[in-house]
Amino acid sequence: MNNLKQAQPASEFMKKNLGISEAPIEAYLNYGYALLAIAGADGEVSEAELNWLLTHQRLVGAPEEIIEKYKAFEYKNADLEQLLNKITVDVSTWSKSRSLLYHAIQMARADQHYSIEEQKAVKKAAKLLKVEDDIALALNRLIETEEAVTALRKALLQTEVLA
């Protein structure tokens, strides 16, 4: 495996959407682990949640060897605070806290069941990350809005199956 401190070039998606050109391999690893710990707070990372993580991490440029590690990670015993301290990138203006919270909510909702335990884990992560309550609420509402826009797009383009 590559040295965990070695920088990995970011994908075009991450460059365009976050302005990040590279990140240490350790950051990719622990970002995914933190997301697993939050989404798995209800005792299980569902197949839909895991698939969301794998797809997302490939999109941002995580190496396949790191992505494989997510599948075996013992998220039930993870120390979220310790994982969060190991996530760094090359952009000082990037908000690790807000980005991680945003992605954690998306991942936890990927299986259409955003459990009370997952919501509590998101709140705990928000506190550890020092994300204000109003920002955490706004991130939740943003994701709900994005989901509604996606549903609207599918309906308008006639790609959504009608019940």
Full-prediction pTM beyond 0.75?
yes
* Domain contains 66: yes
Task: Work out how many domains the chain is built from and give that number.
Answer: 1
* Domain contains 32: yes
Contact in structure between 135 and 98 (CB atoms under 8 Å): yes
* Domain contains 148: no
What is the rounded distance in angstroms from the CA atom of residue 139 to the CA atom of residue 25?
A: 26
* Domain contains 54: yes
Contact in structure between 123 and 136 (CB atoms under 8 Å): yes
Angle at 142 between CA 138 and CA 147, to 5 degrees: 150
What is the rounded distance in angstroms from the CA atom of residue 59 to the CA atom of residue 159?
A: 23
For residue 99, what are the domain limits? Answer: 7-131
Domain CATH for 119: 1.10.3680.10
* Domain contains 68: yes
Query: Per-residue pLDDT for 20 more than 90?
Result: no
* The pLDDT of residue 133: 92
E strand or H helix at 9, and its extent? strand 7-9
* Domain contains 140: no
pLDDT digits 0-9 by tens, 92-114? 767 888 999 999 999 999 998 88
* The pLDDT of residue 160: 65
